[in-house]
Amino acid sequence: MEKLLEMAKRVADQAEIYSIATSSNDLSFENYELNEIKNSMQSGYALRIIKNGYIGISYTKNLLDRNQLIENALTSLRGKIAAQFSFSKKGHPKIFNDLYDKSIENIKIETAVEEFKQISSYVKKNLKSEGTLNISSSYGDRKIRLMNSNGVDYSHQSSFYENYSFILFPKSYSHIHTLLLDLKYKPFALDKIQEMIDFYHKAYPEVKVAPGSYPTIFAPSALYSLMWRFNLATNAKSLYEKVSPLENKISEQIFSDKLTIIDDPHIPDECDSRGFDDEGVETSKLTLIDKGVFKSFYNNLEYAAKTDSKPTGHGYKGSMMGGEETVSLKISPSLTNITIAPGDHSFEEMIKKIDKGVVVLGVLGAHSGNLLNGDFSVGLVPGLYVENGEIVGRIKDGMIAGNIYQVMKNVSMVENKVHRAPLGRYPSICFDQVKLSVKS
Partner 1 sequence: MQRELKEIISKVNADYCDIRYEKMNTTKITYNGQELTEIGANQTDGYVLRVLKNGGFASISITNREDIDRAIKIVSESATLLGRELKEKVKLELPTAAVDDVPLTLEGDPRKIPIDEKLSLLQHYNLIVLKSPNIQTTTLTYNEVYRDKYFATSHGSFIHQPLITLSIGGTIVAKRERDGLIQNVRATVGGSNGFNKLLNRDNVFLDKAKIASDLLDANPVKGGTYNLVLDPNMTGVFTHEAFGHFSEADIVENMPSLREKMKIGDKLGSDILNIIDDATAMGQVGYYKYDDEGVALRPVTLMEKGVLTGRLHSMKTSTVFNEPISGHTVAEDNRYSPIVRMGCIYIKPGNMTFDELLKAAGNGIYVIGAKGGQTNGENFSFAAQYAYEIKDGKLGAMVRDINIMGNLFTTLKNVNGIANDFKLSEAGGCGKGQLNIKSCHGGPHILIKDALIGGV
Interface with partner 1 in residues 84-123 (CB under 8 A): 109-110, 113
Quote the CA–CA distance of 236 and 239 in Å, as a whole number. Answer: 5
Nearer to partner 1, 229 or 425 (CB): 229
Nearer to partner 1, 62 or 251 (CB): 62
**Count of other CB atoms within 10 angstroms of residue 124:** 10
Q: Please report whether residue 129 would count as binding partner 1 according to CB under 8 A.
A: no
Nearer to partner 1, 35 or 94 (CB): 35
Q: Please report whether residue 132 would count as binding partner 1 according to CB under 8 A.
A: yes
**Count of other CB atoms within 10 angstroms of residue 30:** 14
Candidate ranges 138-146, 157-165, 188-196, 324-332; the one touching partner 1 (CB under 8 A): 324-332
**Which of these, 140, 110, 137, lies nearest to 41 by C-alpha position?**
140
Q: Please report whether residue 1 would count as binding partner 1 according to CB under 8 A.
A: no
Per-residue x/- marks for partner 1, 44-83, CB under 8 A? x-----------xxxxxxx-----x---xx-xx-xxxx--
By DSSP bridging, strand 390-395 and strand 206-207 are: parallel
Nearer to partner 1, 52 or 388 (CB): 52
DSSP states of 288-309:
EEETTEE---B--HHHHHHTT-
Per-residue x/- marks for partner 1, 176-215, CB under 8 A? -----------------------------------x----
Residue among 33, 257, 344, 355 that touches partner 1 (CB under 8 A): 33
Q: Please report whether residue 30 would count as binding partner 1 according to CB under 8 A.
A: yes
Q: Please report whether residue 36 would count as binding partner 1 according to CB under 8 A.
A: yes
Q: Which residues within the stretch 385-414 sit at the binding site for partner 1 (CB under 8 A)?
A: 397, 399-403
Q: Please report whether residue 437 would count as binding partner 1 according to CB under 8 A.
A: yes
Quote the CA–CA distance of 252 and 85 in Å, as a whole number. Answer: 30
C-beta of 368: minimal distance to partner 1 in Å?
3
Candidate ranges 3-11, 290-298, 333-341, 376-384; the one touching partner 1 (CB under 8 A): 376-384
C-beta of 340: minimal distance to partner 1 in Å?
23
Alpha carbon separation from 364 to 368, 371, 379, 440 (Å, rounded): 9, 14, 5, 19
C-beta of 406: minimal distance to partner 1 in Å?
10
Q: Which residues contact 171 (CB under 8 A, 6 or more apart)?
A: none
C-beta of 86: minimal distance to partner 1 in Å?
18
Q: Please report whether residue 349 would count as binding partner 1 according to CB under 8 A.
A: no
Q: What single-letter DSSP state applies at residue 188?
A: P
C-beta of 115: minimal distance to partner 1 in Å?
13
C-beta of 129: minimal distance to partner 1 in Å?
12
Q: Cα-flanking dihedrals φ and ψ of residue 25, to 5°?
A: -130, 110
Nearer to partner 1, 206 or 290 (CB): 206
Helices (H), 234-363: 236-240, 301-306, 347-352
**Which of these, 417, 434, 435, lies nearest to 426 by C-alpha position?**
417
- Terminal-to-terminal C-alpha distance of the chain: 62
**Which of these, 434, 435, 418, lies nearest to 426 by C-alpha position?**
418
Residue among 66, 179, 192, 245 that touches partner 1 (CB under 8 A): 245
At what angle are helices 66-76 and 2-11 packed, to 10 degrees?
Answer: 40
